[in-house]
């Protein structure tokens, strides 16, 4: 399958690209503050930053309809923001507060929002891939034309769950788009040390599934490739496996060195030149669609948004202790719970 080219058609207007730049920059500024909050002990547990990979989720999510579904891994802050979950609710969740998007029950790895069909960040590598297939199954069962977008890291391709899920998605022709964000390392283990093949989109050949590979640092390229896959899912009910080649600029989580153990400083510096925000900013500036001043203004605005989220999170109360026993089970039958949740929004 051919490698995808960036979508530079006039249809992709300047406003769209400015929106994408804004979304990626918001994610970046948000997560820089996450790192700070983690160092200050305001965020605990595991915290996996998306810095460097923003173009993947931002480009992919930008082609979805509001009624489409998204499911992802524990590296989920960027995608949650790209889907329109508020910085306040996400930061409050990271701070473990009651106004968090899941009321302080999930933290960094488990962001969910029923309002925008964000089916969660999931913490077991590979575990959410069969769930995506199930969402695709439900769409087909109901005769709908939504799509389920499933993000995963490249280490997932070595799990049994991945193979089982892709086989069924292809066998049953389900409207799923499986996106591998290949950031080259599963924690500290390089792809080449973990997978017997290195062009991992070719794993889809085993399932006779449409597949592709694209540059994950160029948001417009990602967007074009995902658009094609989403169209295929929506109109033909066929799944796609898309490998998006990217790089994380930070450690795996908050406890490991950014470079020096499993990857070199030189390698990191090489990839930093292809920062997805710089790539898009440069494109817009070269076309005369953005000035340094515009960018600085946008940056200041987004920093203020993130500061507001921080302040909101800090002021939000901790969950009441009674909440400990809430939401283990529902006490309803025949969908009464789901109907109540929907009605409450």
- The interface mask with another protein, positions 279-298, x = CB under 8 A, is --------------------
Instruction: Please answer whether residues 225 and 15 qualify as being in contact, where contact means their C-beta atoms are separated by less than 8 angstroms.
Output: no
**Footprint of another protein on residues 316-345 (CB under 8 A)?**
326-330, 332-338, 341
H or E stretch at 254: none
Task: Output the smallest distance, CB 291 to another protein, in A.
Answer: 42
Instruction: Please answer whether residues 70 and 61 qualify as being in contact, where contact means their C-beta atoms are separated by less than 8 angstroms.
Output: yes
Task: Output the smallest distance, CB 115 to another protein, in A.
Answer: 9
Chain centroid offset of residue 305 CA: 20
**Phi, psi of 119, rounded to the nearest 5 degrees:** -85, 20
- Residue 74 or 201: which CB sits closer to another protein? 74
Q: DSSP readout, 184-197? A: SEETTEEGGGT-S-
Q: Which of 10, 41, 160, 288 binds another protein (CB under 8 A)?
A: 160
Task: Output the smallest distance, CB 105 to another protein, in A.
Answer: 5
Piece in contact with another protein (CB under 8 A), picked from 15-23, 56-64, 100-108, 234-242: 100-108
Place of tokens 């001043």: 293
Q: Which of 3, 5, 114, 297 binds another protein (CB under 8 A)?
A: 114
CA–CA separation, 238 and 327 (whole Å): 36
Position 167 contacts another protein (CB under 8 A): yes
Residue 131 CA: distances (Å) to CA of 122, 181, 188, 231: 10, 18, 27, 21
Task: Output the smallest distance, CB 134 to another protein, in A.
Answer: 2
- The interface mask with another protein, positions 55-94, x = CB under 8 A, is --------------x-x-----------------------
Estimate the crossing angle of helix 87-94 against helix 14-39, to 10 degrees: 20
Task: Output the smallest distance, CB 325 to another protein, in A.
Answer: 9
Instruction: Kindly give the pairing relationship between strand 118-121 and strand 69-72.
Output: parallel
Helix residue spans in 129-247 (DSSP H): 129-142, 160-171, 219-236
- The interface mask with another protein, positions 196-235, x = CB under 8 A, is ----------------------------------------
CA–CA separation, 121 and 320 (whole Å): 24
Position 101 contacts another protein (CB under 8 A): yes
Residues contributing to the site for another protein (CB under 8 A): 69, 71, 100-106, 110, 112-114, 119-120, 122-124, 127-142, 148, 160-161, 164-165, 167-168, 171, 326-330, 332-338, 341
């Amino acid at each position: 399958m051919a490698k995808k080219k960036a979508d530079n058609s006039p249809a992709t207007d300047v406003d769209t690209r400015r929106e994408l730049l804004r979304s990626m920059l918001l994610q970046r500024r948000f997560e820089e503050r996450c790192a700070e909050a983690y160092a200050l002990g305001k965020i605990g547990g595991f915290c996996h930053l998306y810095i460097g990979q923003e173009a993947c989720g931002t480009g992919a999510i930008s082609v979805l309809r509001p009624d489409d579904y998204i499911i992802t891994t524990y590296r989920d802050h960027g995608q949650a923001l790209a889907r329109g979950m508020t910085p306040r609710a996400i930061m409050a969740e990271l701070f473990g507060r009651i106004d968090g998007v899941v009321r302080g029950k999930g933290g960094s790895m488990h962001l969910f929002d029923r309002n925008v069909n964000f089916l969660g960040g999931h913490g077991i590598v590979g575990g959410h891939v069969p769930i995506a297939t199930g969402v695709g199954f439900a769409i087909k069962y109901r005769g709908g034309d939504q799509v389920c977008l499933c993000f995963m890291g490249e280490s997932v391709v070595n799990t049994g769950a991945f193979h089982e899920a892709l086989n069924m998605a292809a066998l049953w022709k389900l409207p799923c788009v499986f996106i591998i964000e290949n950031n080259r390392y599963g924690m500290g283990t390089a792809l080449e040390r973990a997978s017997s093949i290195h062009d991992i989109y070719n794993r889809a050949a085993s399932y006779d599934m449409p597949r592709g590979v694209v540059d994950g640092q160029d948001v417009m390229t990602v967007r074009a490739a995902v658009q094609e896959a989403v169209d295929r899912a929506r109109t033909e009910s066929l799944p796609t496996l898309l490998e998006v080649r990217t790089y994380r600029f930070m450690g795996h989580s908050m406890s490991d060195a950014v470079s020096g153990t499993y990857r070199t400083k030189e390698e990191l510096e090489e990839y930093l030149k292809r920062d997805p925000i710089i790539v898009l900013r440069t494109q817009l500036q070269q076309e005369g669609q953005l000035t340094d001043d515009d960018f600085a203004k946008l940056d200041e605005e987004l920093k203020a948004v993130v500061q507001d989220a921080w302040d909101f999170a800090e002021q939000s109360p901790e969950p009441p202790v009674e909440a400990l026993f809430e939401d283990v089970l529902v006490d309803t039958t025949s969908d009464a719970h789901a109907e109540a949740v929907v009605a409450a929004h």
